[in-house]
Structure formats: C-alpha cells, structure tokens
Amino acid sequence: MKPTPSRSCRRQCTRRPRSWAWEEKIKGTIEAGKLADLIVLDTDPLTSPPEKLLSTRVDLTIIGGKVVYDRSQTAVAALVAP
C-alpha cells in the first residue's frame, strides 16, 4: 500500500511518541500484550468528505486497554436514569 499524507501523519502521531518515551515494548501498535489507547469513530476520517468530519462521533474510547466510553452504553444509561 502506497503511503499517503494521512497515513504518514497517523504513523508519526501513533508510533513515534512511544519511542520518545522509551515505551515501545508496551505502546505504539495494536497487538496482544500492549496497552491500547484508541478511539472508534462512526466515520472513516481518511475517506470521508471534509465537511462530514465535524459531525463525526466517537463510538468507543479505550485507554490503557480499558473501555472508558461506549456511546451505545451511554445511550442506554441515559434512558434508564431517573
């Protein structure tokens, strides 16, 4: 796959900082045994038209390998809340 500016930027922002902090054994790529800090979006920002990016929503947030936000669960909790 040919690198694009978006892919190159994403690589620089995700893989490089871990080596700056000497954490390449536990962070930087998504694989078994490593901590995961990531978000799942409802739209692919690499292929979506620019005008749709402002309405992109976060579906899931994982920090340190733990789910800290799940939009589907938040919606259910809001319906059940008193």
pLDDT tens-digit profile of 36-82? 788 899 999 888 898 998 999 999 998 877 888 999 887 555 555 55
pLDDT tens-digit profile of 2-25? 555 566 666 656 555 555 666 777
60 contacts 70 by C-beta, under 8 angstroms? yes
3-state helix/strand/coil string of 33-76: CCCCCEEEECCCCCCCCHHHHCCCCEEEEEECCEEEEEHHHHHH
Domain boundaries in the chain? 1-28, 36-82
What's the confidence (pLDDT) of residue 62?
A: 86
